Amino acid sequence: MKRRDFAMGLGLAWAPGPFLARAAASANSAIADDAWTKASSGAVPILGRGDAFLIQRHGKLIFERYGADHGPTSPHVSWSMAKSITHALVGVGVKQGKIDIDRPLKAVPHGDPKLNLRTLLTLTDGLQWDEGDYDPAKSDATRELYGEGRFDGAAYTAAKPQAYPPGTHWRYSTGAFHLAAAELQAHLFPDLTAAEARRAAMADWIDANLFHPLAMTTAVAEFDAAGTFVGGSWVYASARDYAKFGELYRLDGLWNGRRLLPEGWVKFARAPTLEPIYGAGFWLEAPSNAKTLSLMAGKGPLDGFSAQGHDGQVILVVPSKALVVVRLGLMDDGDAAWRALGDWLTPVVNAFPDA
């Protein structure tokens, strides 16, 4: 299948007249188009394969490009962008009064009462965990998804020793969000124990409370053998549907005038933790002199925050510019590639004026 491009002109709400609006739109479109062309032509090989590149502004789809065998309705694996979706689902549970993120966990037995959903969502749970480079011989994340943990990822995670007191140490962990999903399910459906019943009930609840309200028609949540949503890794959705999810966070949890997430929930996602470039389920931007480089390395708007997934998946939300940018693809997952991806995205974001 040949590469398919879907593009729209970039209209700007602030423009003082039709001629200037068209000129500004053309300039922004050219920058975005040039970025896509360079990446998709192999001129920036470290970026690997580009499957989708999409820009929304003020909630309107204004730019869209797709790689070979991908299009507007093609589902794409989220990898760790699922962590941001799990953050949203826990928020819905909080809004419905089903769960308190500061209560001790009930889904699996654990000795420390300070281990709770807040510490899981902020990756300050303190459980021993080696995310590693996803080497099957070393990575807990790989073992959880494909090794001994594949039958019950939450139990695999909860069985880890408490290496640090909860709330005192930050460490990236896919297992933390798998355990968070199990905890949410335990509160939503406390009487369900059979895997298939748990899976069906949770899938229906996710659809009814998040995917359907956002009209994410391609979105599918995946489950492990125990019937637990794999909240750290596995959602499939199109680029357009991922953009809708980003828009929910740009709008502070409101959708068509209806509040889907509790007041303050997006603020919680964006509040730095013990790791200044991580909040709760989302990566944050930081100045260029920060100890750890953020996606745009201080060269873009500092109010940006993003869902990020293995191999270069990104939903970047920039409230000051009313932007949601989605990039899906397949690249090396090392630091150099992520720095290159940030350098590739930043000029596109900076091309837009403040909203």
* Per-run averaged pLDDT (10 residues), the chain, 355 residues: 35 38 61 90 93 97 95 98 98 98 86 91 96 85 90 93 96 97 97 98 98 98 98 98 98 97 98 97 96 96 98 98 98 96 97 95
* CB-CB neighbours of 146 under 10 Å: 12
Residue 112 is predicted with a pLDDT of: 85
Angle at 178 (CA atoms; ends 173, 180), nearest 5 degrees? 95
Residue 40 is predicted with a pLDDT of: 87
Q: By the 8 A CB rule, do 118 and 102 touch?
A: yes
Element at 84 (helix H, strand E) = helix 81-95
Residue 18 is predicted with a pLDDT of: 47
* CB-CB neighbours of 233 under 10 Å: 25
Angle at 259 (CA atoms; ends 257, 261), nearest 5 degrees? 150
Residue 16 is predicted with a pLDDT of: 37
* Distance, first Cα to last Cα, the chain: 38
Give CA–CA dist 89/150, Å, rounded. 22
**40, 284, 135, 105: CA torsion to nearest 10:** -140
Angle at 229 (CA atoms; ends 254, 318), nearest 5 degrees? 35
Which residues lie below 8 Å from residue 337, measured CB to CB, with a gap of 6+? 46, 47, 48, 312, 331
- 27 is written with which tokens? 């300039």
Give CA–CA dist 165/163, Å, rounded. 7
Give CA–CA dist 314/283, Å, rounded. 10
- 247 is written with which tokens? 């828009």
Entry pTM: 0.92
